[in-house]
Amino acid sequence: MPAERPLRVGLAGYGFAGRTFHAPLIAATDGLELAAVSSRHPEKVAADFPDVPVVPTPEDLFSDETLDLIVIATPNDTHAPLAQAALRSGKHVVVDKPFTLDLEEGRALIRTAEEEDRLLCVFHNRRWDSDYLSVRKALESGVLGEVRTFESRIDRFRPHVRDRWRERDVPGGGIWYDLGPHLIDQALQLFGLPDRVQASLATQRPGGLVEDWADVLLSYGERRVLLHASMLVAGGSPRFVVHGTAGSLVKQKPDQQEAQLLAGMTPGAPGWGEDADAPVFHDGTATSRELPVCKGDQRRFYAQLAAALRPGSQALPPVTPLEALAVMDVLETALRSAHEGRALPLTLTPGERAAWKKR
Average pLDDT over residues 53-75: 97
pLDDT of residue 3: 59
- What letter does residue 161 receive in the DSSP assignment? P
Q: Where are the domains of the chain?
A: 7-123, 129-296+331-340
Please say whether the beta carbons of 148 and 224 come within 8 A. Answer: yes
Smallest CA-to-CA distance from 148 within 72, 272, 243 is with: 243
Please say whether the beta carbons of 95 and 72 come within 8 A. Answer: yes
Residues 6+ apart with CB under 8 A from 115: none
Report the alpha-carbon angle 203-13-299, nearest 5.
Answer: 90
Edge-to-edge order in the sheet of strand 196-202: 196-202, 213-220, 223-230, 147-155, 240-244, 247-251, 280-282, 288-290
* Cα–Cα dist 323/124, whole Å: 10
* Cα–Cα dist 337/313, whole Å: 42
* Cα–Cα dist 69/84, whole Å: 13
pLDDT of residue 173: 86
pLDDT of residue 284: 84
* Cα–Cα dist 235/255, whole Å: 16
Smallest CA-to-CA distance from 162 within 153, 173, 152, 172 is with: 173
pLDDT of residue 358: 56
Average pLDDT score, the chain: 94
Q: Residue 357 above 80 pLDDT?
A: no
Per-residue pLDDT of 333-355, as tens digits, reads: 999 999 999 999 999 999 898 88
Q: Residue 120 above 90 pLDDT?
A: yes
Task: Say which CATH topology domain 129-296+331-340 has.
Answer: Dihydrodipicolinate Reductase; domain 2 (3.30.360)
Three-state SS at 227: strand
The pTM score is 0.95
Q: Residue 113 above 60 pLDDT?
A: yes
Average pLDDT over residues 54-61: 97
Q: Which residues pair with 100 in a beta bridge?
A: none
Q: Residue 205 above 70 pLDDT?
A: yes
CATH of the domain spanning 7-123, picked from 3.40.50.300, 3.40.50.720, 3.40.1790.10, 1.10.8.420: 3.40.50.720
- Which of the four pLDDT bands, split at 50, 70 and 90, describes residue 356? confident
- What letter does residue 86 receive in the DSSP assignment? H
Smallest CA-to-CA distance from 67 within 93, 44, 97, 40 is with: 93
Smallest CA-to-CA distance from 328 within 219, 154, 139, 181 is with: 181
Q: Residue 88 above 90 pLDDT?
A: yes
Q: Residue 2 above 80 pLDDT?
A: no
